[in-house]
Amino acid sequence: MIVTPKPDFRELDRDRVHQITVGRTYVVLGIDYDVYRIIDDNGGPFEYPIRLFDTVENTIPPGWTIDIDVEVEDNEVALYLGPAELNVTGFYEDFFDCKPDAIEVFRRHCVSIGVEWDAEEFIRTGGRPPDIPIPGNRK
């Protein structure tokens, strides 16, 4: 599945600095209810609202699984769709903690789908995006 940012994506979500570029395409690594997980321009597999993108190619890749989590207390349903090896409870927590096994699983997945990803840079930055202030916000 491949997406590209809408030309007016910044107007659609003014509360966040986005590390995506109009005209560039991004391979979707997973879908979590209303967000896509993509490798953004900073090299992180971060989540971005689906409404910011146009679909370039909408085929669900082979090997993807669906996980449905029903919150009985809140009467909510969460839907997760993604590659089986990444769609495992706790995977992204381990990944963002830069645990070697999770980093290796992610690296192998990127290689298998032909997506460039710099594991060394990701680990060097601690798995976090740069702290970029949002213009007009004071935090």
**Residues 22-63 pLDDT 10s:** 899 999 999 988 899 999 888 888 889 899 999 999 999 999
d(CA 60, CA 96): 25
d(CA 65, CA 48): 20
Is residue 87 in some structural domain?
yes
DSSP 50: G
Three-class secondary structure of residue 127 per DSSP: coil
111 residue type, one letter: V
| pTM (two decimals) | 0.80
Is residue 45 in some structural domain?
yes
Inter-CA distances, 32 with 78, 87, 139, Å = 8, 10, 27
**Averaged pLDDT, 70-81:** 77
Is residue 131 in some structural domain?
no
Is residue 34 in some structural domain?
yes
Is residue 136 in some structural domain?
no
- Which residue range is the domain that position 46 belongs to? 2-124
